[in-house]
Every structure is written in structure tokens, then in C-alpha cells.
Chains A and B, each alone.
Chain A
């Protein structure tokens, strides 16, 4: 047990802090929605030059070209989170690692540099109306016609499809193969004729997701990552990168601090919220949960540094992290009481109304990226070795 960072890393942390002190104020607001704006591109450029975005992506693909160092990446994430400064988007954090690992040289040259610069943005075409948790049952099909695949079908829950330049998409190319072996991973432009995007308004009042319809969409045969029928394997590679982002302990700690500040400043009947013992006890229980996930994250990080399998501590991050965020948002709303229902705009809004927005969004995240129930199946089957559910159906084409 040694929680100190060696001199090399302390120096690195100091560099990151100095950078944030100098440039942090000029960063565009975090979580800018939709297409990367010009400010965002400039910011991304600056981050890449300094090694704070696209850090480990090779220079010839537009990255900074550092050799992978988990601890340095961790320090960057931690310091940016503490400073509340927008991080680099490292291109698309799901697609780029997948292409780097499994793409051809041509595909890397074509896709990675513009993605890293923020000039090529992506959406993910996985879920379908009939294939959510049972993703491998997907039925959007692609048949070969000359030099092209011709795609017909429908995707849903496609985040950012209304803004994206490109899509990485799972389609069924081998209808007679077992369901996991009949899928391919295609990439194509969202401007391709035959694509119809319809925004799907969610309970937050915003359209973060879309339905995407494909009618005779023609995609050249070489726009495939991995081989035909290997798409499930390729996609699992992508999902691995996505799930780790959901349940970030830095974010949970930041949000916890925001609630403490809120409860210290807000008064009801002349009493600070934090002086109400019922609210306070809830707050402290959440702090215990937040800390447990923080230390769990340190344990996972240590395994990653040593190149060891993190095992159970890693399997539980998505389930616990999303639940914790949702519980924190509900705590903030309950502490505010009536003021907690104010939304969208108005002079009485607290923290821009973001707690209600998070309360709903975090529920969405409990469902998205593998529902909490699917997470529990995975923990019990893959991490604990309990038997799988008996299977009854065969895939219908």
C-alpha cells in the first residue's frame, strides 16, 4: 500500500495543473451538445499539442503519440475534473480504440485523424426496437450487391445521430449463422442516401437519442471493421470502452461536493439544509458510498497499472456508479423540496436546474449501456460463475 506518486508523476501532475491554470478559463463550456463547435476544435487542438487529448494515439494518426501510461491518463482525468474544465474528446472514445486495434492501415488513415481533430463525429448504431438487452438478436440486414452492402432496417437510442457525420453500425450479414456469428460491423457516412433520422424526445424534454431508419442504404464492401460475421466480437471491444466511462468516481466526487455546497447555502425556515439531521444523515450515507467507489477505483487503477485483471471490482463499476449518481441527484432534489421541481428556466432555479436534469438523465444511464438488470446478470454469470438462464428460442430471421 503506497498512495504516493513517484517524482515523475508528481512533476506531471504539476504540469497539468499549470496548464489548467493558464488555459482553463479559455476552455469552452463542458458537455457542449451536438456537433463540435469551432471553439471546441481549437481547444481540442491545444489539448492534443500538450498531450492531454488523443494522448496515446500515434502521431501519424493525428494524436500526441505518447506511450500508454495509465497513471498519467488518470492524473489528466482527475485534474481536469477537479478544475471543472472540459476534457478532450480523444476522438470518439469507443470507435477510435476499436479501429486502432482491429482496423486496416487504410481505415486508420482515413478515420482516425479527422475523428481526433473533432472534424468527423460519430454515432453508434447498435440497439434496435426488438433488440435491446438481447442485442445479438438484431435484424437490420445487409446483403451484398456487387461491390456494396445494401442495408435495410432500423436502429433506436442512437445518441447524437442528428449531428453525427458517421455511424458505426451492427448489421446481420449472415442470416443462417448462429446469432452471435452472423453480425458485421460497418462504418458509413450519415449523408448516405436512404438514411432517415428522427429525433426521439426523452423525459428530460430534450432529444438526445434518435431513431434511424435505413432503406436500401448502399455501403462499399471495404467499409467493414474486422471480417464478415465477426461484428459481435468487434462490438464487444467497443462496449468495453463505453462502460468504463459510465460510473467515473471523479465525477461522483465532484457532484457530491456540489450537494454539500448546496446544502450549506440553501435554507428552509431559516435553517440550513445541512442542519436538518434527516437530510444530513442521507448526505453522509451517500458520502460513504461515494468513498467506497473512489477506493474501489484506486484498486482497479492499480490492477491496470500492473496489467492484471481487475476482476469483480471492475465488473461492478457501471452498476454502482450509475446508481450512486442517481441517488445523489435525488438527494439534492429532496433537500431542495419545492424549489427542487423548478426546471428549464426561471429566477428561482438553483444550480441552473441541473439536478432535475441529472435525476432523469442518470435514470437513463442506469438503463442505457446495458441495463442494471443485465449488469447483474453479467456479474453473477461471468464474475461469480452462476449458471446462465436456460435458452428457449432460436434467432428468427
Chain B
């Protein structure tokens, strides 16, 4: 019984955090956001050297083949600096889909490029989670028609993994598809709308009659978004703690007022158990199959709630400054808000958790 990170996991965490601290300061986020870049080349290449894009890809395909807990630690670190780089779709969901559903040729074609970071993939599965009327992809042989919305990591992607209405997964290469960027609150991530009109695509054959693969990549994506929210929330709390010990009013630092202190204590009390939740749900993805889907649902929805609370209170701790663009706190605020809705908003996910438990 050892519910803690291993020495290796802590070292991985430290090396990623160390790299991002130097290479992804707020200024870099600001520049990327104002120029509409969601795949900053310098950051991407550094992360590639650290093995990030190949985190779950087996060594035979050039990856480092670590687990989902390691992937979650990376996601947390990226959230902590609001990194303008793709990760959840391109480095976790897409490779997992190919590993589980792809044939040998597809694995050999895509996985090494994904692992090296030379290629980036978007993932479009939102029609499986609270589908809008305008969405839905039909497959006719290897031709796709219809529309995918909120395709994650979609802006600079070289190819896409998309689900059709039956839950089978296809790879579509970018030149074949019509892509429209979706402007969201979060300028550090890219989601796009894809339109298919008899578009050439390649089925991942293992997913043809097995919706489980689709559900599995959604589970993993949810845990990664929960981890991202954990990192972003912790940063907001840390910034609030630093600010309230520096800002003076009435001849005292404001952090000596109970009203302020109690906000900090409440954020801490809410957020700290979330770290354990992310660890457990990430660990469960592979190690505890009976619980993994339920835990992914709960981690995602619980982190969404705590993230909303922390992002709001941490902003309040900064007073008027928290509301300004100058301080940049809003990048994390918006990232947390984005994570909350993507791959299922909390209410929808909790309904899913009820169904998983056979309550309805």
C-alpha cells in the first residue's frame, strides 16, 4: 500500500516543471495568445526532448511508454503554466486510439511521428457527449460526411481522429478536411470545427464494432483535463497566497485579515484532496478497470467544481488587479473554464456516473 508518487515520477514532474518555468513564463503565454498561436515551436521541441509527446507510446514506436499517471502529471504541469501547446488529444487520446484500434500499418505510420512530436493530431469526439443538432458524422465506406465540433488540439494538427455516430474511429489527414477555428475564452488551446463532405478517411479497424475504444479515450481525456485544472487551480491559489502577503492596506498585509485568510484556507481545503483524486483516477485507468470509468467521470466533474471555486476566489484575493489583463490571472481562469465544459460538463458527466453505477 503506497498511495504516493514514485521517485521516478517525482523526477519526471520536476524536470517538466523546471523546463516550463524557464521556457513558458507568463510573457510567452501572452505573446502566443495575442498572436493566436497554440503550438509554440520552442516549447514543443523542448517538451519533445523530454519525451512528452511519446509519454504513453511504446518504445518500439519511439515513445517512452510510461503510464497515465505520468501523463496526468504532465497535464497538470502544462495547466500550471497555461502552456500554449497541444497535449491531451495529440499525446494521449489520439495515440491511445491508434494503439487500441489501429492495424500494424497505421501504428507504424503514425505512432513514431506522434512520439517524436513531428506530427500533431486533433481529436473530435464531442458528438458522443451531449451532441448538438448540427453535429454528427456518417461513414459510407471510407468516406465521411457531417460535422465535428470542438475538436481538441485541432488548430495546427496534421491529422485528426474522429468518431462517427456509431462510435467507430477514423483518421483523417488535414489536407482532406475543411477546418474552421473556434474562438473560445481560452487563447492557450485550439479547438476547431471540421466539416466532412464525402471526405477520404481511414477506419481504425479495431474500433469498427467496439465502442469501448472511444469510451476509453474519453475516460483518459477527462482525467487529463482534470489534471490540467488541478495545475491551473494550484497556480491561481499560489499567486493569491503570494499577493495577499505582499499587498498592504490599513497598514497590514491583507493576508492578515481573517476574511482573506479564510478564503485561502477554503481554497486549500477544496483543492488539496483533488490532487489525490487525480492520482487515483489516473492510476485506475490502467490498474483498476472496474472503477476507471466512474473515477474518470468523478475526477472530471469534481475538479470542474473545485476549479470554478478556486479560480473565482483566487481572483477575488487579488482585488481589482485580479480582473485586469495586466496581471494575466485570467489565462488560468479561462483555461479552467474551458476544461470544465470540454469532454462533458459536470452535470452531464454526473448523469453518466449515475448510469455507470446502475442507479438509473
Q: Of A1, A320, A389, which is within 8 A of B283 by CB?
A: A1
Which of B256-291 touch A at CB < 8 Å? 256, 258, 261-262, 264-266, 268-269, 272-277, 279-280, 283, 287-288
Q: Are B276 and A384 in contact (CB under 8 A)?
A: no
Binds B, one of A17-25, A219-227, A299-307: A299-307
* A287 close to B (CB within 8 Å): yes
| Contact code string B326-355 (vs A, CB < 8 Å = 1, else 0) | 000000000000000000000100110110
Cβ–Cβ < 8 Å partners of A383 in chain B: 268
Cβ–Cβ < 8 Å partners of B295 in chain A: 291
Q: Are B268 and A379 in contact (CB under 8 A)?
A: yes
B239 to chain A, nearest CB (A): 13
Q: Of A9, A264, A380, which is within 8 A of B262 by CB?
A: A380
Cβ–Cβ < 8 Å partners of A299 in chain B: 3-4, 275-276, 279
Cβ–Cβ < 8 Å partners of B279 in chain A: 1, 295, 299
Q: Are A288 and B3 in contact (CB under 8 A)?
A: no
Q: Are A379 and B269 in contact (CB under 8 A)?
A: yes
With both beta carbons as reference points, the residue of chain A lying nearest to B69 in the complex is identified as: A1
* A2 close to B (CB within 8 Å): yes
Binds A, one of B104-112, B134-142, B297-305: B297-305
Contact (A288, B1) CB under 8 Å given A387-B255, A387-B256: no
CA distance A287 to B277 in the complex (A): 12
Q: Are A386 and B261 in contact (CB under 8 A)?
A: yes
Q: Are B350 and A295 in contact (CB under 8 A)?
A: no
* A377 close to B (CB within 8 Å): yes
CA distance A306 to B268 in the complex (A): 24
CA distance A296 to B302 in the complex (A): 14
B290 to chain A, nearest CB (A): 13
* B27 close to A (CB within 8 Å): no
Q: Are A274 and B253 in contact (CB under 8 A)?
A: no
Q: Are B277 and A295 in contact (CB under 8 A)?
A: yes
- Most B Cβ at <10 Å: residue of A260, A275, A295, A383: A295
| Contact code string A70-105 (vs B, CB < 8 Å = 1, else 0) | 010000000000000000000000000000000000
Cβ–Cβ < 8 Å partners of B9 in chain A: 1
Q: Of B5, B253, B261, B276, which is within 8 A of A292 by CB?
A: B276
Contact (A387, B253) CB under 8 Å given A274-B360, A287-B298: yes
Contact (A373, B262) CB under 8 Å given A298-B3, A383-B268, A384-B268: yes
Q: Which secondary structure dominates chain B's binding surface?
A: helix
Cβ–Cβ < 8 Å partners of A389 in chain B: 256, 258
Q: Are B276 and A376 in contact (CB under 8 A)?
A: no
Interface residues on B, range: 35 or more
CA distance A43 to B350 in the complex (A): 43
Number of interface residues of A (CB under 8 A): 51
B235 to chain A, nearest CB (A): 15
Q: Are A381 and B261 in contact (CB under 8 A)?
A: yes
B273 to chain A, nearest CB (A): 4
Q: Of B1, B255, B350, which is within 8 A of A4 by CB?
A: B1
* A394 close to B (CB within 8 Å): no
CA distance A277 to B348 in the complex (A): 11
Which of B35-71 touch A at CB < 8 Å? 69
Cβ–Cβ < 8 Å partners of B276 in chain A: 292, 295-296, 298-299, 313
With both beta carbons as reference points, the residue of chain A lying nearest to B9 in the complex is identified as: A1
With both beta carbons as reference points, the residue of chain A lying nearest to B1 in the complex is identified as: A5
Q: Of A1, A71, A277, A384, which is within 8 A of B264 by CB?
A: A384
A368 to chain B, nearest CB (A): 18
Q: Of B275, B283, B305, B359, which is within 8 A of A264 by CB?
A: B359
* A207 close to B (CB within 8 Å): no
Q: Are A386 and B255 in contact (CB under 8 A)?
A: yes
Cβ–Cβ < 8 Å partners of B32 in chain A: none
* A262 close to B (CB within 8 Å): no
Q: Are B264 and A301 in contact (CB under 8 A)?
A: no
Q: Of B1, B268, B298, which is within 8 A of A2 by CB?
A: B1
Q: Are B261 and A280 in contact (CB under 8 A)?
A: no
CA distance A375 to B266 in the complex (A): 10
* B85 close to A (CB within 8 Å): no
A176 to chain B, nearest CB (A): 30
Q: Are B359 and A260 in contact (CB under 8 A)?
A: yes
Q: Are B1 and A295 in contact (CB under 8 A)?
A: no
Q: Are B1 and A280 in contact (CB under 8 A)?
A: no
Cβ–Cβ < 8 Å partners of A380 in chain B: 255, 261-262, 264-265, 268
CA distance A30 to B276 in the complex (A): 31
A245 to chain B, nearest CB (A): 18
Q: Are A316 and B272 in contact (CB under 8 A)?
A: yes
* A285 close to B (CB within 8 Å): yes
* A134 close to B (CB within 8 Å): no
B71 to chain A, nearest CB (A): 13
| Contact code string B314-332 (vs A, CB < 8 Å = 1, else 0) | 0000000000000000000
Cβ–Cβ < 8 Å partners of A306 in chain B: 4
* B22 close to A (CB within 8 Å): no
Q: Of B4, B244, B252, B262, which is within 8 A of A390 by CB?
A: B252
With both beta carbons as reference points, the residue of chain A lying nearest to B252 in the complex is identified as: A390
B318 to chain A, nearest CB (A): 15
Cβ–Cβ < 8 Å partners of A387 in chain B: 245, 252-253, 255-256
* B241 close to A (CB within 8 Å): yes
* A395 close to B (CB within 8 Å): no
Cβ–Cβ < 8 Å partners of B261 in chain A: 376-377, 380-381, 386
**Chain B interface residues toward A at CB < 8 A:** 1-6, 9, 69, 241, 244-245, 252-253, 255-256, 258, 261-262, 264-266, 268-269, 272-277, 279-280, 283, 287-288, 295, 298, 301-302, 305, 347, 350-351, 353-354, 359-360
Closest 6 CB pairs of A and B: A295-B276, A288-B302, A376-B265, A292-B273, A296-B273, A284-B350
Supplied contacts A298-B280, A319-B265, A376-B258, 4 more A-B pairs, CB within 8 Å: A1-B6, A280-B354, A284-B353, A388-B256
